[in-house]
């Protein structure tokens, strides 16, 4: 019998509209009966994207049961955990249950392997059987369920030297430190908005390493706890308390901190909307902005930059760049104090 092959990118699973790619699709076929070029995962834990989790909490409150019910409803309606408001997803860890025959010799996975997916839950077919527990302090949700990976989907085997939940938390934002490694150079002044959050701290470490002794790293955060955390870890040369949704105040603070120079590279790592113009006004007109935040409006960024006459280069927060998983996990191996904090917060 000829193999039953789906589209390598997963369009065969799009139900509404048919033939669309799975990320923009409204609904996916989440049947755990896999094609010969798919992989079936027995799912353990979902790491919900921070912008999505924050939005859900804003809608239903902080009660774990209510958060779980909302997540259940989204997955039941869409066949994937694709937040209809933020458009974002997250990722998951689980165990390989079955590898389609067409991938068995090439994908490097076998049943029983423990993996983290490196593609968004906003495009991953997911069928939930039970929500076991919701942990609002980490945005993680333990479940019983099945997920499907396509032929082109990215994944990483969970490393043996780090706790699984820690790897899950870090791999969720792997693109951020990896992009920092590529975008930041010696001597740069780097600003991280939301520097005390999960991706922000990883970016600070990577930025500090890349700017060298002639560069400078500035973290902006608004909560006192997060500011103390950054200071205690020595991850930034300057720590600013501020609200990333207040562009004029952020610009003033960064002007003062840089002696009027502003930042060469700004990374936006907040989990709330409305930070586009703070990044623009805090960055040199010839600088670079990387909008990792999924709460970013790219319309607001583009029109906002035009409106203030900024020629800064702006990058959409592609969560993937080559080697991103290795770079992100390496940060924890290089920085034992950051690892200890992450273990306390996420593992």
Q: Which residues bind ligand NAP (CB under 6 A)?
A: 49-51, 88, 172-173, 175, 194, 196-200, 220-223, 226, 243-245, 269-272, 292-295, 317, 319
* Closer to ligand NAP by Cβ: residue 29 or 172: 172
- With beta carbons less than 8 A apart as the criterion, state whether 327 and 174 touch: yes
* Closer to ligand NAP by Cβ: residue 206 or 221: 221
* Closer to ligand NAP by Cβ: residue 30 or 88: 88
We find the least distance from the C-beta atom of residue 70 to ligand NAP, in angstroms, to be 17
We find the least distance from the C-beta atom of residue 112 to ligand NAP, in angstroms, to be 28
- With beta carbons less than 8 A apart as the criterion, state whether 43 and 145 touch: yes
CA distances from 74 to 29, 85, 103, 298 (A): 14, 11, 30, 24
Residue 59 makes CB contacts below 8 A (sequence gap 6+) with 70
We find the least distance from the C-beta atom of residue 259 to ligand NAP, in angstroms, to be 23
* Closer to ligand NAP by Cβ: residue 38 or 172: 172
* Closer to ligand NAP by Cβ: residue 89 or 100: 89
We find the least distance from the C-beta atom of residue 109 to ligand NAP, in angstroms, to be 23
We find the least distance from the C-beta atom of residue 158 to ligand NAP, in angstroms, to be 18
Q: What CA–CA distance (Å, rounded) separates 252 from 238?
A: 14
Q: In what order do the strands lie in the sheet with 216-221?
A: 238-241, 216-221, 189-193, 263-268, 283-291, 313-316
Comparing every residue's Cβ against ligand NAP, the nearest one is 197
């Amino acid at each position: 019998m000829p193999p039953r092959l789906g589209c390598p990118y997963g369009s065969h699973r799009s139900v509404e509209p048919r033939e669309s790619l799975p990320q923009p699709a409204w609904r996916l076929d989440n049947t755990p009966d896999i094609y010969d070029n798919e992989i079936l995962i027995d799912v353990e834990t979902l790491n919900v994207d921070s912008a999505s989790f924050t939005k859900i909490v804003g809608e239903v409150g902080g009660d774990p049961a209510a958060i779980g019910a909302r997540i259940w409803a989204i997955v039941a309606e869409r066949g994937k955990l694709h937040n209809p408001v933020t458009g974002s997803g997250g990722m998951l860890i689980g165990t390989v249950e079955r590898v389609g025959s067409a991938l068995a010799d090439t994908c490097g996975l076998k049943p029983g392997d423990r993996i983290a997916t490196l593609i968004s839950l906003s495009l991953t077919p997911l069928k939930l059987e039970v929500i076991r527990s919701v942990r609002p302090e980490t945005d993680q949700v333990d479940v019983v369920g099945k997920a499907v990976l396509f032929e082109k989907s990215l994944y990483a085997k969970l490393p043996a030297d780090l706790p699984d939940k820690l790897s899950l938390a870090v791999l969720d934002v792997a693109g951020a430190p990896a992009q920092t490694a590529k975008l930041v150079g010696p001597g740069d002044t780097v600003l991280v908005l939301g520097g005390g959050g999960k991706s922000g701290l990883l970016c600070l470490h990577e930025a500090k390493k890349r700017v060298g002794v002639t560069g400078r790293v500035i973290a902006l955060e608004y909560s006192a706890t997060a500011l103390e955390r950054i200071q205690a870890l020595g991850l930034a040369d300057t720590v600013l308390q501020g609200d990333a949704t207040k562009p004029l105040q952020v610009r003033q603070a960064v002007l003062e901190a840089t002696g009027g120079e502003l930042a060469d590279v700004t990374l936006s790592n907040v989990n709330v909307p409305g930070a586009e113009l703070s990044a623009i006004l805090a960055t040199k007109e010839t600088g670079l902005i990387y909008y990792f935040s999924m709460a970013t409006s790219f319309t607001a960024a583009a029109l906002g930059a035009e409106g203030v006459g900024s020629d800064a280069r702006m990058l959409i927060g592609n969560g993937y760049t080559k080697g991103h998983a290795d770079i992100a996990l390496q940060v924890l191996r290089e920085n034992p104090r950051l690892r200890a904090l992450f273990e306390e917060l996420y593992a």
